[in-house]
Chains A and B, each alone.
Chain A
Amino acid sequence: MAEPVANAAAPAPAPGRLRNAFGGVLCAFTLILIGVLAFSIRLFSVIKYESVIHEFDPYFNFRVTQFLSKNGIYEFWNWFDDRTWYPLGRVIGGTVYPGLTLTAGSIWWFVNALNIPLSVETVCVFTAPIFSAIASWATYLLTKEAKGTGAGLMAAAILAMVPSYISRSVAGSYDNEAVAIFALVFTFYLYVKTLNTGSLFYATLNALSYFYMVCSWGGYTFIINLIPMHVLLCIVTGRYSSRLYIAYAPLVILGTLLAALVPVVGFNAVLTSEHFASFLVFIILHVVAFVYYIKGLLTPRLFKMAMTLVITVGLAVCFAVVAILVALVASSPTKGWSGRSLSLLDPTYASKYIPIIASVSEHQPPTWPSYFMDINVLAFLVPAGIISCFLPLSDASSFMVLYLVTAVYFSGVMVRLMLVLAPAACILSGIALSSAFDVLTRSMKFQLSKLFDDGPAISGNGSPNGSSASTVNTSSSKNEKTEKSEAAPKEKQSKKNRRKDKEVTESVSVKPKKEKRLSVLPLEASIVSTLLLIALGGFYVVHCVWAAAEAYSAPSIVLTSRSREGLHVFDDFREAYAWLSHNTDVDDKVASWWDYGYQTTAMANRTVIVDNNTWNNTHIATVGTAMSSPEKAAWEIFDSLDVKYVLVVFGGLVGYPSDDINKFLWMVRIGGGEFPHIKEPDYLRDGQYRVDAQATPTMLNCLMYKLCYYRFVETDGKGFDRVRGYEIGKKHFKLTHFEEVFTTHHWMVRIYKLKPQKNRIRGKLKKLKSQSSKTSSTLAAGRKKNPWQ
């Protein structure tokens, strides 16, 4: 069997090797191009706006990186930040995922050590595009392990451009996901590689890559639950092998230890329910491995005896242990899961119990159009990829399918997790497209060679010949003709009879090596299909470039709008922060809604009360209560927190829709959740929040309304709010406890100062005395439980 093959190969080793070398060079060149593509498609924001950090969360990461670059790693590790969450402060070292900052910090240090003077901001802005290029290379490696080089290149090219990934990794979006997606794909690649080769070296690398993922993102729990699920799937479907043991068991031990090393995770790595699945599957794997080992030692009869003996004893022990575990876990109120994980498993959990998690727009379920916006063409290439993974099914391809299915579920719960779906969709689409192109080009080559070699033989062949088909095409034509190179028993070919053909033609095989009989399409069909698939790819590219340029490149800190006079730029946020940093004292405290906390500390360098970390619900509720209370009560709350300035964002003049009035319902809800004297129905008219003449008096008197609409009527005489679309209710009023110190050019950010308390109040002593007696009597009655009065 081997000899004819060797003889066939001997006269042509040089061309084969040359072809291989040429293929390798082409592959490397394509990969470099894919990397350049991934990097450059994310540069739209830098070209259209400027090289600036976007959004809110990246500003915190940027500030931490600045601190790291200035003070070194030991200071960073032990940093207690007193500029946020005044007066509580925040332990940065223990509550931040250090992966991103350490990565950018080391890049900055390395580049500066080479005497290339890049600033920290430049490094931070461009970290995400660089890592997305590396992530597409990791996707190539992962898909190569599953299906081969062609599929790998296809998947890498698709991932370089997929809009969902672009949205979180444009130049300037300096957030955890920028490096976390690379770590995710690379960890999966190393796991699949270990599974395929059974090498302990790759298992070690896998654990280290998992460590990098734990450092980078809270989404690492996806990995530590998906891999055990896959191991369980392999065991249950009878694909247990010793390579599976080597791939999984060291990962659990090393992975748990490495995860416990990261301060954010700490002992949660062994105590929380998110990790229990890995331990459970670890135990199950050991049981299965032991069973297989004993099976190898004993004869079948004795083995059966051993099984019956062990099962009776083992089941009893198992039940006892499981009962104890369940009792332990059930005794905790959340059954050991953290709030965020529970909101993923039960999509309605957050809206019922944790309004803060429910209020974040990223945590809402996605709409159907967002799937087509974010993964476009891949949405219908993915099912084709799933089918292609099943022919043939290997450990790696079963892993891909499992990854995709779980990612689809989680992306349906939270729109933010579409990002986890993106690599899975790209890989499976790459596999699908690669298999499709495989069949089409093979048909074209075969048909063309037949056309040029032996013309008459084909024309004489009227009826189709029988042979076995092995691949299913998504774009196959209705009449599938199959041909063989030598005469075969003539048989009616139809889709239903394919199985019969396999048995018939097994006996007739003249070629020395047994090759799979592959299906071939007619020439016209394959040419047209290839062109159509290339056109499909073209549509995808056009959509991705449009999405990157128009939809996802906005650095929400700078807004633009097109009018008849050209491009209009709204730079109000930076204007306000610059005013704050130049006109206030270093130790002044600024109160605003938690959205702007990170930006205020990073750009204005002032202490804030609450910020985007949202770790203390009561503190946020305090600020929310203050914004919803009348002026005097709000002043007292803010004064108790040593606040000097209050910052509100107002979009009514220019039509900026995400301003504080639109976020007001969350302030009321969160405040009302902690302080019962804030009741939501007080602010609603007919179930709606209104600020026009029909608004409730509580709404018209609250601090947020007053601070947003103070002197608003002076802009156009009528006080027409462009966002809400109607005139405001209370137009002329004065502020008694606050004074306006700054309003930006487009009235988007307004800063107020707390008026100091008067030293003495002339002629109001008697009134004060009666007032104080009134309040004391109400306190004694216990009618109101208002801590601020």
Chain B
Amino acid sequence: NKHFEINGLKSQGRLGPEIAPSTPIGAINRRKEKENPKPKLPELAILTSESSRRRLHSTARSGEARMPKPAGDAKLLIQSLTKAYAATPTNLKIIDLYVVFAVATALVQVVYMGIVGSFPFNSFLSGVLSCIGTAVLGVCLRIQVNKDNKEFKDLPPERAFADFVLCNLVLHLVIMNFLG
């Protein structure tokens, strides 16, 4: 019992090398070690505040080696982001693509205005705002159609799409009027 307690303390701090893995006691420790981090972190989250958690983390790391850490962090971040995003359903990815296309078109128009000048200002305004408007409406559609969104689980996706079409109609009617 005492052995386990001492080993538990060692694995909690992660301060130094553990007991040699070949011993059976060490094997049990490794299992315990594996289980520990996950339940430990939420506990820490409940009992301590954000700043103290950050302090614990930084003291846990040996030394303040800044150089490789952010790069490694960023790579890890991007990896997990892409992995999590790849898991989204295809229809949402299509809507995302549509939104990105709309924003890109808006950027192209702004660059063009920067080159050529903004003389028919109403045309510029209506062009850019129509792109941003379709992007915003696309995001609204995505919010309403997303199955993970608990607030909209009663909303049938057909209704969401019908609202989307109606709002787009109004938007484009105004755009056509304002385009000049």
Interface residues of A (CB under 8 A from B): 198-201, 203-204, 207-208, 241-243, 245-246, 249-250, 253-254, 256-258, 260-261, 267, 270, 289, 294, 296-302, 304-306, 309
Contact = CB atoms under 8 A, between A and B. Distances in A.
Contacts, number: 103
Contacts of A306: 77, 81
A309 B74 contact: yes
Nearest to B177: A261
B41 interface: yes
Contacts of A242: 143, 149, 151-152
B171 A253 contact: yes
Nearest to B148: A296
5 contacts: A200-B144, A246-B144, A257-B126, A298-B81, A299-B80
A241 B121 contact: no
A250 B167 CA distance: 9
A261 B125 contact: no
Contact of A257 (B80, B139, B167, B178): B178
Contact of B76 (A267, A304, A305): A305
B114 to A, nearest CB: 15
- A-B interface, 3 closest residue pairs, ranked by CB to CB distance from nearest: A200-B163, A297-B84, A253-B133
B163 A254 contact: no
B148 A297 contact: no
**Interface residue SS majority, chain B:** helix
A298 B82 CA distance: 10
Contacts of A207: 170
Nearest to A254: B171
Given A198-B152, A301-B41, 17 more contacts: A198-B144, A200-B164, A201-B163, A204-B163, A208-B170, A242-B151, A246-B140, A254-B167, A258-B174, A260-B125, A261-B174, A267-B121, A267-B125, A289-B139, A298-B84, A302-B77, A309-B73
A305 B155 CA distance: 35
Nearest to B169: A204
A250 B140 contact: yes
A258 B122 CA distance: 12
Interface in B108-148: 121-122, 125-126, 129, 132-133, 136-137, 139-141, 143-144, 148
Given A198-B151, A200-B160, A250-B140, A297 B178 contact: no
Contacts of B141: 200
A249 B171 CA distance: 13
B45 interface: yes
B174 to A, nearest CB: 5
B85 to A, nearest CB: 7
A208 B174 CA distance: 11
B133 to A, nearest CB: 4
A196 to B, nearest CB: 11
Interface residues of B, number: 42
A195 to B, nearest CB: 12
Interface in B34-69: 41, 45, 54
Contacts of A302: 76-77, 80
A253 B177 contact: no
A249 B139 contact: yes
**Interface residue SS majority, chain A:** helix
Nearest to A242: B143
A463 B24 CA distance: 68
A297 B152 CA distance: 19
A261 B151 contact: no
Interface of B: 41, 45, 54, 70, 73-74, 76-77, 80-81, 84-85, 121-122, 125-126, 129, 132-133, 136-137, 139-141, 143-144, 148-149, 151-152, 155, 160, 163-164, 166-167, 170-171, 174-175, 177-178
Contacts of A243: 151
A243 B152 CA distance: 9
B180 to A, nearest CB: 11
Contact of B133 (A254, A297, A298, A300): A254
Contacts of A203: 140, 167
Nearest to A266: B122
Contacts of A256: 129
B125 A270 contact: yes
A251 to B, nearest CB: 10
A429 B170 CA distance: 37
Given A201-B163, A302-B77, A305-B77, A245 B41 contact: no
A296 B87 CA distance: 12
Contacts of A298: 77, 80-81, 84
A249 B141 CA distance: 12
Contacts of A289: 139
Nearest to B166: A204
Given A298-B84, A305-B76, A260 B136 contact: no
B85 A297 contact: yes
Contacts of B73: 305, 309
A243 B155 CA distance: 13
A314 to B, nearest CB: 14
Nearest to B69: A305
Nearest to A299: B80
Given A200-B140, A204-B170, A253 B132 contact: yes
A249 B136 contact: yes
Contacts of B149: 242
B83 to A, nearest CB: 9
Contact of A201 (B80, B121, B137, B166): B166
A246 B166 contact: no
B125 A204 contact: no
A649 B30 CA distance: 100
B76 A257 contact: no
B174 A257 contact: yes
B143 A246 contact: yes
B129 A204 contact: no
Contacts of A257: 125-126, 129, 133, 171, 174-175, 178
Contacts of A245: 139-140, 143
Contacts of A270: 125
Contacts of A267: 121-122, 125
Contacts of A201: 163, 166-167
A294 B170 CA distance: 31
A253 B129 CA distance: 7
Contacts of A305: 73, 76-77
Nearest to A251: B136
Contact of B137 (A208, A250, A260): A250
Nearest to A312: B70
Nearest to B131: A253
Given A246-B140, A249-B136, A297-B84, A200 B170 contact: no
Given A249-B139, A305-B76, A309-B74, A200 B167 contact: yes
